[in-house]
Every structure is written in structure tokens, then in C-alpha cells.
Amino acid sequence: MQRLAWLSSIVTDLIGVLAFCAVGRRSHDEGLSITGLATTAWPFLTGTVIGWLASRAWQRPTAVFPTGVVVWLCTVAVGMLLRKASSAGVAASFVVVAASVTAVLLLGWRAAVALTVRHRSDAR
């Protein structure tokens, strides 16, 4: 059961980051080719993996704090640093949008899990 929670949690985070990148590409009429999505997503996916390692997310993968917060902050910070290093855009407005959307995606599902668990405990 523990392994399933770990795997489903990292997959959920990676899908959230890919969804963020795909929606961003679509909103800027950049298309959704695999190559294009990979080009946009790799900095953020790298940040997500670093966040997982830094927070040891496999120990408490569904925790909003510290796991979710560390994963989210690394996703944004590392993602922006890698975009800057690879000469991709890091305009202030993009940083705000990326931070906001990834917060909803990476913290939101964890908060929903916590509320569900709390609700089930209260019902007993």
C-alpha cells in the first residue's frame, strides 16, 4: 500500500506539471507536440523531481506541509532557474502565473486528500 501511495503521488505531481505546461503552450498557440511539450516541461519536471528528493516525499507523499510545499517551491524555483539558463522566458508575470497554477495543482490535490481523510476520521 505504501508503494502505491508513493507511485500515485509522484505520477499525480508529474501529470499536474505536464498539464500546466500543455495549457500554457495551448494558450500561446505553440501547439502540443511531444517535442514542444518536452521542451517546455523539462525545467519544471526537473524541479519537481528535485523537490521530491529534497523533501523525501516518498515518506509522506500526500502531506501538504512540508512535502507539498517543498515540491511546489522546487518546481517553480528550479524550473525558472533552468528556463533562465536555457534562455527561455522568465518574465515576472510568467513567474506569478506559474507559481499560482502549480500551487493549485501540487498543493490542491494534497489538501483534498487531507480533507477526505479528516472527513472519514470524523465520520467514524
Distances (CA, A) of 93 to 22, 52, 105, 107: 18, 26, 18, 21
Report which of 86, 84, 94, 98 is spatially closest to residue 48, judged by C-alpha positions: 98
Write down the pLDDT at residue 3.
Answer: 76
pTM of the model: 0.93
Residue 32 CA to residue 38 CA, distance in Å, equals: 10
- Within 13 Å and on the Cβ side, how many CA atoms surround 46? 13
pLDDT in tens, the chain (124 residues): 577 889 999 999 999 999 999 999 999 888 889 999 999 999 999 999 999 999 999 999 999 999 999 999 999 999 999 999 999 989 999 999 999 999 999 999 999 999 998 887 787 6
Write down the pLDDT at residue 64.
Answer: 98
Residue 117 CA to residue 113 CA, distance in Å, equals: 6
Residue 8 CA to residue 43 CA, distance in Å, equals: 21
